[in-house]
Amino acid sequence: MCGIIQTEYDRYRDENSEEEQPVRNITHDEGYDIYYHSYWLPKCPSLKPGINLSFFDNAVNMGPTGATYVLQHALGIDVDGIWGPNTDAAVAAITDVPAFIEKFAAARLAAYRFMEGWPYFHNGWTARTNTIEAASIKMATAPVGLKLAVPLLPYVASQKVMDMHLRMPIRVAA
């Protein structure tokens, strides 16, 4: 359910001193907590709006290391899957965020093509990548005043993506 596999859910429940149960019984709050702590943190809050959404969604789908591989490939730096000072510097040097988001989406699709599931899942993976790319560019090109006035924009966008994964209605906190 919602892309969270049983072993990941078992680990989460163990870490929270709760008995294991079938992942089909996962609650919205548990799913959100897993997505937030396992995929949004630690890198997404420091990424530029739009890039954070693309990276987050890719981390959910390919794991944080896989998403880092894709990011490094899109940045044109050595690809090792380890987020270190070279990756930090290259991310900080991005000036054209929408153009980078397009590169990231292209690198993500290229990575999918090497996966065993490509013949079966290519339509869904391509649609997912295109949807996230469009949403990421929309975030990146939002008016500057909106970005400053709504510091929770990445949180809201990440919650929408999390809710998409959880296939549950979006709950807006007051």
Query: Is 172 a member of any domain?
Result: no
Instruction: Note the pLDDT tens digit of each residue in 98-122.
Output: 999 999 999 999 999 999 999 999 9
Give the N- to C-terminal CA distance of the chain in Å, as an integer: 27
> What's the confidence (pLDDT) of residue 154?
45
Distance, CA of 109 to CA of 49 (rounded, Å):
21
Quick one: DSSP state of residue 93? T
Whether the CB-CB separation of 26 and 3 falls below 8 Å is answered with no
Which segment of 111-115, 151-155, 164-168 scores lowest on mean pLDDT?
151-155
Distance CA 6, CA 130 (A): 28
Instruction: List, for residues 8-34, the tens digit of each pLDDT value.
Output: 999 999 999 999 999 999 998 898 899
Nearest C-alpha neighbor of 162 from the set 27, 8, 6, 10: 27
**Residue 148 is assigned to a structural domain of this protein:** yes
For residue 174, being part of any structural domain is answered with no
In a domain? residue 173 = no
Number of H helices and E strands in the chain, helices first, is 8, 0
- What is this structure's pTM? 0.81
Which CATH number goes with the domain that contains 56?
1.20.141
Tokens of 93: 């040097």
Rounded CA-CA distance 112/99 in Å is 20
CB atoms within 10 A of CB 29: 10
Q: Number of structural domains, the chain? A: 1
Is 70 domain-assigned?
yes
The average pLDDT across 70-75 equals 98
Contact 82, 125 (CB under 8 A): no
CB contact at 8 A, 49 and 149 = no
Domain containing 78 equals 6-166
DSSP class of residue 21?
Answer: -
Residues contacting residue 33 through CB under 8 Å, at least 6 positions apart: 12
Is residue 83 situated within a structural domain?
A: yes
Helix axes 85-92, 51-75, angle to 10 degrees: 110
Specify if 62 maps to a domain: yes
Tell me the torsion sign for CA atoms 129, 63, 94, 47.
positive
Q: Domain for residue 171, yes or no?
A: no
